[in-house]
Amino acid sequence: MNSTTPLQLLWLLQLSDSGLPIGALSHSYGLETLAAEESLNADQLGLFLNDYLRELSAFEIPFCGTAYRLGIDNSDGLPIQAWLELNTTLSAFKLAHESRIASSMLGSRLLRMVSDLMQSQLLLTAFDAAEQTETAIHHCTAFGLAGAALGIEEQAVLLAYGHQSLAGLISASQRLLPVGQSQATRILWELKPLLAELVKSAQENHCDVDEARCFAPLIELASMRHPSLTTRLFIS
């Protein structure tokens, strides 16, 4: 595939913007619980996000890449069963109800939005198939499929997904912990080389979801405890 064009880059920047009206800013994915229970503080944030990024690359990045490839190889149309099974498998990995629902809400809204913006039959087919079978559409799979529909190269799509996930957690931490803009900016800057390395590794492994793994008990249990917090700033 040709390199990403300036227009495609602009589309990608918009889709990975935290201000996109799909509700991403309302979710902390368990971070609020960790902050409330004082299991995470500002000094630990960089190390925590380093581990989170490694988890993301071993789990959601392969699903994002697989969804991308389903969309980019669509000369015969979207393989609907493979698309539905991909999302069903991802749902089974997400043990925490709040995080699972958050992912599916963001994914569904993103896919519907991009489908409406570009009038994509590929995305409309994917959305309708999931809706008719009551299958959750996850954020990472929706992002990958949308990137394919826009013709953006795979590496750029995976990097953008990883970056917006990381930036979203940093944004949440600034509302939950005494983390200033300078510290937040430095953490995000210093984690970019790791993100690039992890995406490259995922691509070299062909984003194989059979090799995807998920082991984040701290944040999963925090997500499960989130509904019991006395006061909550975030949905998840």
Distance between CA atoms of 236 and 234, rounded to whole angstroms? 5
pLDDT category at 76 given cuts 50, 70, 90 is confident
pLDDT 10s digits, 136-162: 999 999 999 999 999 999 999 999 999
**The pLDDT of residue 199:** 97
Whether the predicted pLDDT of 192 surpasses 90: yes
pLDDT category at 80 given cuts 50, 70, 90 is very high
Q: How many CA atoms lie within 13 A of 79 on its CB side?
A: 13
pLDDT 10s digits, 92-142: 999 899 999 999 999 999 999 999 999 999 999 999 999 999 999 999 999
Please, where are the H alpha helices in 21-153?
31-36, 45-72, 80-93, 97-118, 121-132, 139-149
Does residue 77 contact residue 186 with C-beta atoms inside 8 Å? no
Q: Residue 210: which residues within 8 A CB-CB, separation 6 or more?
A: none
pTM listed for this prediction: 0.95
Whether the predicted pLDDT of 1 surpasses 70: no
**The pLDDT of residue 3:** 80
| Mean pLDDT for the chain overall | 94
**The pLDDT of residue 212:** 87
- Which SS3 state, helix, strand or coil, does residue 28 take? coil
Q: CATH homologous superfamily for 24-228?
A: Urease accessory protein UreF (1.10.4190.10)
pLDDT category at 7 given cuts 50, 70, 90 is very high
Please count the residues of the chain. 236
Q: Where are the domains of the chain?
A: 24-228
Distance between CA atoms of 214 and 193, rounded to whole angstroms? 22
**The pLDDT of residue 2:** 59
pLDDT 10s digits, 65-74: 999 999 997 7
Whether the predicted pLDDT of 220 surpasses 80: yes
pLDDT category at 77 given cuts 50, 70, 90 is confident
